[in-house]
Every structure is written in C-alpha cells, then in structure tokens.
C-alpha cells in the first residue's frame, strides 16, 4: 500500500469502445415483458428459475416421505418415485442453479459490475430468456404427458432410459426431457455469448480484467465453461432422440427386453456416459464458480476487508475451470475402465483440491481480523464455507478409485453432492439475494424473517445431509424405492431416515418464510439507500436505485481502482468506491 502521488495518476484512459446504442422501449409490453434490458431479463430468469425450483423442492419432499414411511403414501409408487428423483435432479442442477446463477445473477450483475449500459446484444439476450422459458414449459409438460415424465434418473443413462421398463421410456417422458434440454442449450448459448463478450469487450474505462470483482470472474468463467460443456449434452440428447425415435443404435447394444430381441445392436452405452459427464462434471463447476465469486465479494464487503490474495483467487477460478474438463470419468469408475485411465482421472480430480483449498483459505484469511458485520449476507457466506468444506472433503474420498467403488451408489454420494453443489451454492444464492435485493428493488429485506429463514435453512440442511454420510457408510443404496428387509442395514438406519425426512419437511417449509419476505419487502420493506452496505463495486454507484434503463445516466463510469479498497488506513471512510479518483486516497491494489 502506498500513497498516491498527487497529479498525473488520475489520467483517464481514452475510451476505446463507442457508447452503446440502446433500444428504448415504446410500450409497456416491450418495457416489462419482451424487455431487452438485462436487469428485467435477470428478474424474469430468476422468477422462472425459483418457481421451477419450488416444484423440485416439493418432489424432494415426496421422495423423503417414501424413504421414511415406505408404502404409507399410496400414490408414491415405484414409477412415481423414480420420476420424482429424475425431475428433482434435472430441475435443480440445470433449470434452477444454472439458470439462476448465469441467467439471473449474470444478467443483473455483469453489465452493472463492469460498467456497461447493457449486455452487448440485448435482443439475443431477450431471446435467451424466452427460449429458456420454452425449455421449462416443455419440461413441465412431462408431468401432464401420457406416462408422465421420465424416470431414468437425472443422468438418463441408456439403454434403460429408452426402454419400456422405465417410466416415460417408451412414452413421452424421455422425449420431452431430451427436447427440453436441447432447447435449453440453444437458449443458454444466446445468453452465454452475451455474458462472455460483455465481460471481454464491453468494460468501462479503467476496468481491467484484474480489477473486476470476483463475482464477475466466477460468472464469466462459468459461462465460458458452459459454452464448451453444453455441446456434449446437446449431442448426447440428439443422438438419444434418434435412438428412441428413428431406431438408430448409437447408445443401444443388442438387447433382449421381456423375451423380445430389440432391433437395436452394436451401440455403446458407455459413449453416452462419456458425453454426459463431459458436460456433467464441468456443470458442477458451472454452478460452483459463480457461488465462489459471489461469496468472495460478500465476505470482503461484510468483513470490511480486501479479499485475501485477489490474483490467486482469479487464477484458482481459471485453473479449476480448466481442470474440470479433464476429470469427467471419475463419475464412471464403476462403469469399468482401463486402470491407467482410472489413475489419470483420480489424479486430476485430486489436483482440483489444491486451487479449491486456496480459495477456502483465502476466504478464511479475509475474515481473519476483519471488521465482521454479521449481516444476513455474511451469515449465509459463513454457512457456505462450512458446508462447502464438508462437501469438498468427501469429494476427496470419492475421487479415489478404491474408495469410490464401495461408496458409489450409496447415500454417501448423495450426501457429498448435495453438500457441495446443492446446499452450498443455494446458501450463496440466499446471501446474494439479501445482498443485492436493495439494489434490485430499492428496499431492504426484513431482517427478522431473514434470520428465522437463515437458521432453519442452514442448520436444517446440515441435519438433512450430514447423517446421510453414515447411511452411505452403512451401505444404504441411493435410488432405491424401498430397502425392505436387508441384512446389512440395521434398524437404526431407518430411524435416521425418519429424522432426515422430518428435517427436510421443516427446511422446505421454511422457504415459505423466504418467499413471503421477498414479496412483503417489495412493498413494505425499509427503503434502501443507493449503497446500503457501503460497498466499493460499481453497481452500488449508479445514479438511481434501482438503476434506470442504461444504468449510468449520461456518462459511463470511470474506474480508478480495484474492487476491494476496504478499511484502507488513512482513508476517511472504510470503503473507497471504484469510481473514486486515485488522488482522493490510498489503495491496497497490487499492481504489476
């Protein structure tokens, strides 16, 4: 940290990009419904994603009810149970988390945080949302189609996913699921290209890549990953549609079903697994990286301290993204593979622990001797750290071939991925909504309701998923409709199952408090100032709150410093906005 020499240092770089031509809506419809404004699109994305997420939440209740009280609820038969599992998984991973982080937070925060007026191609951005909505509607149509939605498990492994024994396999279910995913990929590509190009080519003057908030880094990197990983899902879906509709045999080996030899022969089911997991593993980080980025900013802002090791944080994000493309087959250890490949994939998987651990250490070191404000965003960020560390450590177990093989397809795996990519990112989403709600609506969320929701959700989610590790170690399998009398599963496991289900019901119900808070605060919440958290990043420096169309009024902002000038000694306040000229104070930014 050094004093800024007076004069000279405030020189502003010349504008390289001409100011953006904005589309100005002429009617209510083009302003609020078919809007090209990234902020409106973000809200549309978020509402759609949260709505479909609530459906997935109810499905998880139904599964838990069956596991705790087998056979008690007559309408949950085996077929329905598998349909619930499949839809719960796919909705949560793709239609809620991916859409909410990238389509929701990405759309709202990227233009504001890099100092742009909007995304670079607002029309394509608008199409992105409507195509996403179409994908969601096709998905939901599965519930009403003859035979119901597919029950193939969210991984949709062939050949079982297109056979008649699987719910939806020979009905509409699997067709609607595959079509919905194809449409989703097309829609996402339109939005994703926008996010990437806006970050790369549309930043404000002075905003170098190494001055971007980590939120933008996380969302940006995740979007790049999505643009490279979704093609594999797209291709896999197209090929499976052909297998099912045209009778091709890409994934279908010679197979006898109910005593009948099917027409298929010579295909490779393993090929689908490779394609699926080449998408599926990066997908984990597509969900995790935005959470990493957002939580970094929440911790730094609410601990009033610059993020520890900013450059290391950026490189860790980039390295995690790169590594995640060469680890996919660790999901396939039990599918069988050459031991040399198993060794390769186990090694690359475990190497990911290094940049990830760097991130966790840096979050903790940011908190160290910080001026921690236990606001709700901070509480959720802390909850994220303890949840994520738990899920990350069990990932080290499952990354090893010899440990994975006995644990695979047990509740241990369910516990692991729910901790690491279910609960942890969702906690960040709650924290982020508490953090940015005042910017989006101009009002604060209610604190009392927020605390009630926080404690039930955080402790409850731990109570749901932590015991599942024990169930998994006992050998309780996942994806079983009913365990029945099994010699190696002790009766105590059943008691634990009942406990987990009760906690799941409570945590699910607590989300109503959050939804009520969202709606109630919209009308009755305390009015927020433009910068209620006294944060440095650009989105808090807009002339209006909520920001108007075009974000910045007449002149685009100019950036003079990084995003983390908190508690700089000698500065009049404990934060210095990025728009503050250098002569006005010191900085902790490290320049090379």
Partner 1 sequence: MTQSVQTQSNPGPQPAGMRGVAADFGSDQRAFKTASWGKAMMWIFLLSDTFVFGCFLLSYMTARMSTPVAWPNPSEVFALHIGGQDVPLILIAIMTFVLISSSGTMAMAVNFGYRRERGKTAVLMLATALLGAAFVGMQAFEWTKLISEGVRPWENPFGAAQFGSAFFMITGFHGTHVTIGVIFLLIVARKVWRGDFDTERRGFFTSRKGRYEAVEIMGLYWHFVDLVWVFIFAFFYLW
57-86: which residues touch partner 1 (CB under 8 A)?
Answer: none
For the CB of residue 182, give the shortest distance to partner 1 in the complex, in Å. Answer: 11
Q: How far apart are CA 33 and CA 48, in angstroms?
A: 13
Q: Which is nearer to partner 1, 78 or 591 (CB)?
A: 591
**Interior angle at CA 384, CA 427 and CA 197, nearest 5:** 70
14-53: which residues touch partner 1 (CB under 8 A)?
Answer: 14-17, 21, 23
For the CB of residue 591, give the shortest distance to partner 1 in the complex, in Å. Answer: 5
Question: What single DSSP character describes residue 443?
Answer: B
Q: Is 322 in the site for partner 1 (CB under 8 A)?
A: no
Q: Which is nearer to partner 1, 123 or 343 (CB)?
A: 123
Q: Which is nearer to partner 1, 383 or 559 (CB)?
A: 559
Q: Which is nearer to partner 1, 209 or 334 (CB)?
A: 209
For the CB of residue 559, give the shortest distance to partner 1 in the complex, in Å. Answer: 8
Window contacting partner 1 (CB under 8 A); options: 169-177, 274-282, 329-337, 522-530: 274-282
The distance from CA 1 to its chain's CA centroid, rounded to whole angstroms, is 35
Q: Which is nearer to partner 1, 201 or 486 (CB)?
A: 201
150-189: which residues touch partner 1 (CB under 8 A)?
Answer: 189
Q: How far apart are CA 302 and CA 436, in angstroms?
A: 13
Q: How far apart are CA 465 and CA 390, in angstroms?
A: 10
Q: Which is nearer to partner 1, 18 or 485 (CB)?
A: 18
CB atoms under 10 Å from CB of 90, counted, come to: 25
Q: Which is nearer to partner 1, 9 or 405 (CB)?
A: 9
Q: How far apart are CA 258 and CA 415, in angstroms?
A: 35
For the CB of residue 266, give the shortest distance to partner 1 in the complex, in Å. Answer: 4
For the CB of residue 583, give the shortest distance to partner 1 in the complex, in Å. Answer: 9
The distance from CA 88 to its chain's CA centroid, rounded to whole angstroms, is 15
Closest CA to 186 of 136, 225, 240, 132: 132
- Of 99, 110, 385, 582, the one binding partner 1 by CB under 8 A: 582
Q: Which residues contact 430 (CB under 8 A, 6 or more apart)?
A: 376, 380, 453, 454, 457, 514
2-21: which residues touch partner 1 (CB under 8 A)?
Answer: 2-5, 9-17, 21
186-245: which residues touch partner 1 (CB under 8 A)?
Answer: 189, 192-194, 196-197, 200-210, 227-228, 230-232, 234-236, 238-239, 242
For the CB of residue 41, give the shortest distance to partner 1 in the complex, in Å. Answer: 15
Closest CA to 25 of 442, 550, 545: 550
What length does the chain have? 592
Q: How far apart are CA 217 and CA 321, in angstroms?
A: 11
Question: What single DSSP character describes residue 14?
Answer: P
Q: Which residues contact 266 (CB under 8 A, 6 or more apart)?
A: 249, 253, 254
For the CB of residue 292, give the shortest distance to partner 1 in the complex, in Å. Answer: 19
112-131: which residues touch partner 1 (CB under 8 A)?
Answer: 120-123
Q: Which is nearer to partner 1, 24 or 526 (CB)?
A: 24
For residues 219 and 291, is the Cβ–Cβ distance under 8 A? Answer: no
Q: Which is nearer to partner 1, 10 or 482 (CB)?
A: 10
For the CB of residue 393, give the shortest distance to partner 1 in the complex, in Å. Answer: 32
The distance from CA 109 to its chain's CA centroid, rounded to whole angstroms, is 15
Supply the DSSP string of 260-313, one letter for each residue. EE-S--S--HHHHHHHHHHHHHHHHHHHHHHHHHHHHHHHHHHTTSPPTTHHHH
For the CB of residue 112, give the shortest distance to partner 1 in the complex, in Å. Answer: 16
For the CB of residue 437, give the shortest distance to partner 1 in the complex, in Å. Answer: 30
Q: Which is nearer to partner 1, 208 or 261 (CB)?
A: 208
Site size for partner 1 (CB under 8 A): 71
503-562: which residues touch partner 1 (CB under 8 A)?
Answer: 559-561
**Interior angle at CA 294, CA 37 and CA 561, nearest 5:** 85
328-367: which residues touch partner 1 (CB under 8 A)?
Answer: none
For the CB of residue 303, give the shortest distance to partner 1 in the complex, in Å. Answer: 21
Q: How far apart are CA 533 and CA 243, in angstroms?
A: 54
252-271: which residues touch partner 1 (CB under 8 A)?
Answer: 263, 265-268, 271
Q: Which residues contact 273 (CB under 8 A, 6 or more apart)?
A: 155, 157, 331, 332, 335
Q: Which is nearer to partner 1, 190 or 383 (CB)?
A: 190
377-436: which residues touch partner 1 (CB under 8 A)?
Answer: none
**Interior angle at CA 340, CA 339 and CA 345, nearest 5:** 95
């Amino acid at each position: 940290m050094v004093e800024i020499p007076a004069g000279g240092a405030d020189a502003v770089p010349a504008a390289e990009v001409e100011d953006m031509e904005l589309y100005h809506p002429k009617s209510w419809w083009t302003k609020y419904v078919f809007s090209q404004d990234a902020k409106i699109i973000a809200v549309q994305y978020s509402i759609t994603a949260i709505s479909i997420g609530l459906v997935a939440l109810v499905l998880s209740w139904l599964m838990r009810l069956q596991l705790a009280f087998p056979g008690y609820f007559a309408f949950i038969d085996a077929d329905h149970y598998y349909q619930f599992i499949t839809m719960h998984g796919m909705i949560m991973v793709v239609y809620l988390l991916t859409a909410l982080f990238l389509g929701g937070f990405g759309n709202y925060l990227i233009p504001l945080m890099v100092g742009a007026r909007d995304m670079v191609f607002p029309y394509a951005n608008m199409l992105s949302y409507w195509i996403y909505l179409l994908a969601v509607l096709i998905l939901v149509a599965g519930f009403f189609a003859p035979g119901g939605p597919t029950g193939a498990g969210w991984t949709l492994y062939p050949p079982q996913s297109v056979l008649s024994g699987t719910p939806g396999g020979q009905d509409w279910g699997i067709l609607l699921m595959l079509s919905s995913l194809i449409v989703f990929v097309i829609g996402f590509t339109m939005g994703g290209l926008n996010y990437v190009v806006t970050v790369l080519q549309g930043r404000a003057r002075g905003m170098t890549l190494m001055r971007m908030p980590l939120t933008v880094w996380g969302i940006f990197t995740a979007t790049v990953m999505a643009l490279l990983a979704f093609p594999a899902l797209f291709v896999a879906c197209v090929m499976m549609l052909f297998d099912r509709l045209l009778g091709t045999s890409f994934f279908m080996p010679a197979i006898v079903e109910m005593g009948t030899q099917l027409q298929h022969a010579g295909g490779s089911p393993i090929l689908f697994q490779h394609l699926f997991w080449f998408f599926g593993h990066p997908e984990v980080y597509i969900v995790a990286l935005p959470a990493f980025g957002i939580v970094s900013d929440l911790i730094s802002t609410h601990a009033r301290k610059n993020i520890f090791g900013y450059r290391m944080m950026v490189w860790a994000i980039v390295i995690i993204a790169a590594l995640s493309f060469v680890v996919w087959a660790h999901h396939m250890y039990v599918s069988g593979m050459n031991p040399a490949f198993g060794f390769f994939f186990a090694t690359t998987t475990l190497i990911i622990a290094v940049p990830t651990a760097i991130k966790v250490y840096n979050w903790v070191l940011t908190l160290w001797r910080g001026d921690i404000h236990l606001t709700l965003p901070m509480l959720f960020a802390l909850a994220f750290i303890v949840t994520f560390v738990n899920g990350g450590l069990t990932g080290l177990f499952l990354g090893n071939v010899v440990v994975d093989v006995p644990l695979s397809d047990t509740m241990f795996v369910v516990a692991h991925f729910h901790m690491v990519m279910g609960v942890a990112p969702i906690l960040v989403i709650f924290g982020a909504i508490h953090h940015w709600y005042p910017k989006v609506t101009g009002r604060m969320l209610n604190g009392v309701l927020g605390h009630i929701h926080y404690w039930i959700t955080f402790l409850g989610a731990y109570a749901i998923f932590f015991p599942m590790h024990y169930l998994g170690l006992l050998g309780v399998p996942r994806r079983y409709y009913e365990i029945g009398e099994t010699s190696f599963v002790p009766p105590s496991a059943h008691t634990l199952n009942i406990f987990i289900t009760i906690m799941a019901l409570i945590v699910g119900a607590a989300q109503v408090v959050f939804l009520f808070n969202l709606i109630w605060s919209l009308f009755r919440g305390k009015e927020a100032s433009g910068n209620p958290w006294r944060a440095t990043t650009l989105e808090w420096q807009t002339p209006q709150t909520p920001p108007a169309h075009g974000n910045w009024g007449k002149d685009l902002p100019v950036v003079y410093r990084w995003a983390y000038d908190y508690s700089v000694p000698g500065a009049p306040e404990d934060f210095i906005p990025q728009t503050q000229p250098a002569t006005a104070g010191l900085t902790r930014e490290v320049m090379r």
